[in-house]
Amino acid sequence: MKFAKAQLRKYQQSPLQLDEQLDLNPAIQERFADLIDQAKAVHLQGSLQMSEKEEIVLLARVQADLILPSARSLAPVPYALDFQIAETYTDDPAQLQDAAADDNVFLLEDGRLDLDRVVLDNLVAALPSQVLTAEEAAGDQPLPAGQDWQVISEDQEAALVEEKEAEKPLDDRFAKLDDFFQE
């Protein structure tokens, strides 16, 4: 859904109410295929309003049911997101510079607000850094392995290092001292 700034001018007194189901799958495949396998349902509910300063204010709630790849095995993992968007859009670069650093003020592209792109960008920003299947999270699934390699935990690696240290032979220069303490 794209809205031109001129189209939104009539919503200065009362906001444009949004209650939409968005199909973001084509945009996901184009831009974020490595992060999201599929967006089953993306529901946007909120409002768009033109302010007195000719800024577009978006206040919305997004609920999404996604299929994400597991960080460990790339297996599909269902994941639900529910987050808020509160952003302001302007086509005046001077207003962008005047905005405080903590304000969410963005520059409009070609005088249009692409709502699908805004929702997708916020959706990707809300994704967790690591998603695991239920079995992987519980630790019930064996770790991946292949020919001459396997994934091990940090505890297993520490135990292997200790084992190797204990198996090291004594330096020949100290062998005579070993006999000295046995007498």
13-56: per-residue pLDDT in tens?
Answer: 889 999 999 999 999 999 998 999 999 989 999 999 988 888 88
Distance CA 63, CA 84 (A): 9
pLDDT digits (tens, 9 = 90+) for 62-115: 999 999 999 888 899 999 999 999 998 888 777 767 666 557 788 888 888 899
What Cα–Cα distance (Å) separates residue 158 from each residue in 72, 149, 161?
Answer: 21, 17, 5
Query: Binning pLDDT at 50, 70 and 90, where does residue 142 land?
Result: low
Q: What is the pTM of this model?
A: 0.71
Distance CA 65, CA 43 (A): 9
